[in-house]
Chains A and B, each alone.
Chain A
C-alpha cells in the first residue's frame, strides 16, 4: 500500500521568499512521485514528476523537488515566491510498475500556499 503525508495544511510566505512544501511518502515498491497544483475552481495541473531518473526534478513555474530515498521525502521548493503561486498543492504517489495504471494516484491532503505582498 502507498501513502503520502504532506506536512502543514497551510503555508504562508512573503513574496520573494523561499517556498518549501513538505511531502513524505510510504511505498512498498519504487515509487513514482508527483506534485500537482490546483488553482481555485480549476482542475489539477502537473508541476513536476519523479520517475526514477534524476533525483532533482525541475518543473514548471520555477518549482523543483528532490527525491530522497533515505528520508522517503519529495519536498517541493521554489527560490522566490510570486503572488501567482498562491494555490493548493498536492503531492501524489503511484506504483512504478504501473503500466496501464500510471494515473492511479494516492494523494496527500494538500497544502494551501498563501503569498503575502
Chain B
C-alpha cells in the first residue's frame, strides 16, 4: 500500500459527460501529480499541484482541469468526454525530500 488513495476505482460513463476523480496523497506529501495511462499514449504526465498551486503542466487537454484543496487532496475533472478519454488515471504524491513519487491504484475510466 503506497498510502495514496484514489476513488473511484472504476467509472463508466457516456460520451459528453463530466466526471471527477479524487486523490488523497500520502500523509505529509505536498505535491500531487496526475498521469494518464492508455494503450495509445502510454503513461503521460498531465499536471502537478504543490501545496494548492499549479506547478507544472504536461499533455493535459483543455477539457480537463484539476485542483488541490487546502487539505491537500486533489480532484481531476474531465468534461465533454470522448471515447478516446478511456484510460487508467493515476495520482501520485511526493514530498520535497523524496526523490520519487508514490502512486495510487488508479481510476479506470471507460467512456461508452
Which of under 10, 10 to 19, 20 to 34, or 35 or more describes the interface residues of A? 20 to 34
User: How would residues 89 to 112 of chain B score, 1 for a CB under 8 Å from any chain A CB and 0 otherwise?
Assistant: 010111010111111111000000
A45 to B102, CA, bound (A): 7
Q: Is A56 part of the contact surface with B, judged by Cβ < 8 Å?
A: no
| Stretch of B12-20, B43-51, B60-68, B77-85 on the interface side | B43-51
Total contacts A-B at CB 8 Å: 67
| Stretch of A11-19, A61-69, A70-78, A95-103 on the interface side | A95-103
Q: Which residues of the other chain, A, contact B102 by a CB distance below 8 angstroms?
A: 46
Q: Could you write out 17 A-B pairs with CB less than 8 Å apart?
A: A36-B103, A42-B105, A46-B100, A49-B100, A100-B50, A100-B96, A103-B31, A103-B33, A103-B92, A103-B93, A103-B98, A103-B100, A104-B33, A105-B33, A105-B101, A107-B43, A107-B44
Whether the Cβ atoms of A101 and B45 lie closer than 8 Å is no
Whether the Cβ atoms of A109 and B99 lie closer than 8 Å is no
A101 to B50, CA, bound (A): 9
Q: Which residues of the other chain, B, contact A105 by a CB distance below 8 angstroms?
A: 33, 35, 45, 101
Q: Which of A45, A90, A104, A106 has the most CB of B within 10 A?
A: A104
Q: Which of A32, A49, A51, A105 has the most CB of B within 10 A?
A: A105
Interface residues of A in 25-48 (CB under 8 A from B): 32, 34, 36, 42-46
A99 to B31, CA, bound (A): 10
Q: Which B residues fall within an 8 A CB radius of A?
A: 2, 4, 30-31, 33, 35, 42-45, 48, 50, 55-56, 58, 90, 92-94, 96, 98-106
Whether the Cβ atoms of A44 and B48 lie closer than 8 Å is no
Which partner residue on chain B sits nearest A101 by CB separation? B56
Main SS at interface, chain A: mixed
Which partner residue on chain B sits nearest A46 by CB separation? B100
Whether the Cβ atoms of B31 and A90 lie closer than 8 Å is no
Whether the Cβ atoms of A101 and B42 lie closer than 8 Å is no
Q: Which residues of the other chain, B, contact A46 by a CB distance below 8 angstroms?
A: 100, 102
Q: Could you tell me the distance in whole angstroms from the C-beta of A8 to the nearest C-beta in chain B?
A: 15
Q: Which residues of the other chain, B, contact A109 by a CB distance below 8 angstroms?
A: 42
Whether the Cβ atoms of B48 and A103 lie closer than 8 Å is yes
A44 to B104, CA, bound (A): 7
